[in-house]
Amino acid sequence: MDVEITLRVDGTEHRLTVDTRTTLLDALRDRLGNTSPKKGCDHGQCGACTLLIDGRRALGCLALAVAHQGADIVTAAGLADGDGGGLHPLQRSFIAHDAFQCGYCTPGQIVSACGMLAEAEAGWPSAVSKDPGATDVVLDDEEIAERMSGNLCRCAAYANIVPAIAEVAHR
């Protein structure tokens, strides 16, 4: 069955008709031509398709497009400052720290890091937080690694991803 929906992607509104079986990830990649989020497993196990949906990180492959009428979606392409202009500080830091190799998981890593920093700012604890009741989260390397473990990197750039994020987190 086809349904017409509206999605706001990286600040631009799109009206499109989708099969009710279509995932948000496939709607972005196949229908809207936004291939910034990647398909690595299609099962919510790798994180390559991580998006910000209404400001929170979520997996595009586990979301049905039809269930996101009116949603505000941000991809790594939209984190950069429009018109080919400046990169997001996380993007600059990933380049400087060489926090990727093949680059396929990278947009998801960066969007995830963006969402993760907001979660920490809001005081959300993680599995390794010493005091889950604390309102101030100190993002040490262990916290960053734990909170980024939903994003797999087969090239295994982890030892560069953590300092790349830490540098932005500690600014």
Give CA–CA dist 126/20, Å, rounded. Answer: 34
Which CB atom, from 113 or from 135, has the smaller least distance to other proteins? 113
Closest approach, Cβ 58 to other proteins, in A, equals 16
Q: Which of 62, 166, 54, 71 is nearest to 120 (CA)?
A: 166
| Adjacency order of strands within the sheet including 2-9 | 12-19, 2-9, 72-74, 50-53, 56-59
Which CB atom, from 25 or from 71, has the smaller least distance to other proteins? 25
Which stretches of the chain bind other proteins, using CB under 8 A?
A: 19, 21-22, 26, 29-30, 33, 35-43, 45-46, 48, 75-77, 79-80, 87, 91, 94-96, 98, 100-107, 110, 128, 142, 144-146, 148-149, 151-162
Q: How far is residue 107 from each of residues 114, 122, 137, measured CA to CA in Å?
A: 11, 23, 25
What six digits make up the tokens of 85?
A: 């202009």
Which CB atom, from 34 or from 135, has the smaller least distance to other proteins? 34
Is the separation of the CB atoms in 39 and 24 below 8 Å?
Answer: no
Give CA–CA dist 87/83, Å, rounded. Answer: 11
Closest approach, Cβ 88 to other proteins, in A, equals 8
Which CB atom, from 71 or from 94, has the smaller least distance to other proteins? 94
Closest approach, Cβ 77 to other proteins, in A, equals 5
Closest approach, Cβ 135 to other proteins, in A, equals 23
Which CB atom, from 71 or from 116, has the smaller least distance to other proteins? 116
Give CA–CA dist 169/89, Å, rounded. Answer: 10
Closest approach, Cβ 169 to other proteins, in A, equals 14
